[in-house]
Structure 1
């Protein structure tokens, strides 16, 4: 009898072990995590989000793909959408990436969206910048301005510390000039006038790329420039977590 009981216990332990191996801890945790898709700024990679602390979320970084000739933002967003493989995801969009995120959110159901240093509609764009872009002045931007950071780009993007300048240099070096010019042209032709639902906008008061006075953000970051996702990451992380977990 004792021998029979012992055999049964051994079998039960073995079965329990097999159940444990059927799903790795990582896979189990992944099911409990919610997925965030990150849309970086113009030509930038995921490194711009490296300082954000968002525990409990699975992070996926959208990869920019080459734009087709005369492609609209809506058409581009349709092709980018193929990278979204999770239902009801969360979105975080930075600068131009926020505009693309808005377009993608029209095509799929998004749980919640956070835009950083970006806009929700075309009416929030700087009218003077918008005017010059529509005239095609973006074609005159010299390539050397995008090769590395300099006093013009440092001032414009709000890069003040050596760390900020280094990050900006890396971002600019990775920017494709053809994609950059297409993006500016496509933004000039952007027609969105309806603010997306379940979306908040976080903006810096010192942003010179997209002036905050027209954007009506939900959260103002005092003194924050266009790179604040990198150098004000702690504050922005808290805002995002509060909104996503609410």
Structure 2
């Protein structure tokens, strides 16, 4: 029996290590990890997605994307034949954006986001803050959020806010945390909600994902099989 190819796309600024706790049965699935590329000058989301598609070497793959990666895999699915799209801590269309995203889009605030200072503030915080919780978050940031060029971050934030999702795809599986503060639950429709899970559920709810992803991937009707 041939294995099901599963391609994972991380979230904004994140590297594929965010999936390190996700383990799928190697006798059933073959996992591949996509990574962010440096955007070209004024590159459209469509053109950028075409470059990502070149890394997909299998027909009818399953695509799993987190946050902005969830937007990317939806755009990929408009251009190639896929078996299924699963998004985690993401959105299916701009109607699921919170009000602050809509305001940022309306007033074009993405031009003013201080992405160049991301590393600066991280380094200063490490020196002046002694909170164990904050330092643990900084360590997690250093490990998983390594794609930080100003060009990439500016491009990414702008393309999230401007995403219109014309010709949306159907039959998306959406996994979302009830305590997601980036994309709050009240704006999200037709999702599998994990109680008390946050925007980083791919790291903190890996046990649930490892148990349920196989059914989500392989079965058309999976609701009764979830735990």
Q: Give the alignment's TM-score, normalised by structure 2.
A: 0.82
Counterpart of 2:15 in structure 1 is: 45
SS at match of 1:83: coil
Structure 2, unaligned runs of 5 or more: 127-132, 220-227
1:80 Cα deviation (Å)?
Answer: 1.2
Candidates 172, 193, 199, aligned match of 1:226 = 199
Instruction: Go from structure 1 to structure 2 and tell me whether the alpha carbon gap of 1:163 and 1:236 turns closer, same or farther (over 3 Å shift).
Output: farther
2:70·2:88 contact (CA, 8 Å) conserved in 1? yes
SS at match of 2:54: helix
Larger radius of gyration: 1
Instruction: Go from structure 1 to structure 2 and tell me whether the alpha carbon gap of 1:208 and 1:62 turns closer, same or farther (over 3 Å shift).
Output: same
Moved more, 164-173 or 124-133: 164-173
1:121·1:194 contact (CA, 8 Å) conserved in 2? no
Map 1:117-128 onto structure 2 (within 5 A).
117-128=89-100
Counterpart of 1:12 in structure 2 is: none
1:126 Cα deviation (Å)?
Answer: 1.6
1:66·1:179 contact (CA, 8 Å) conserved in 2? yes
Query: C-alpha distance in 2, partners of 1:90/1:36?
Result: 5
Map 1:15-54 onto structure 2 (within 5 A).
32-54=2-24
Asked if 1:61 is matched to 2:64, the reply is no
Candidates 112, 115, 118, aligned match of 2:84 = 112
Map 1:60-139 onto structure 2 (within 5 A).
60-138=32-110, 139=112
Cα RMSD for the two superposed structures: 2.4
Work out the number of aligned pairs and report it.
Answer: 208
1:195 Cα deviation (Å)?
Answer: 4.0
Structure 1, unaligned runs of 5 or more: 1-30, 152-159
SS at match of 2:163: coil
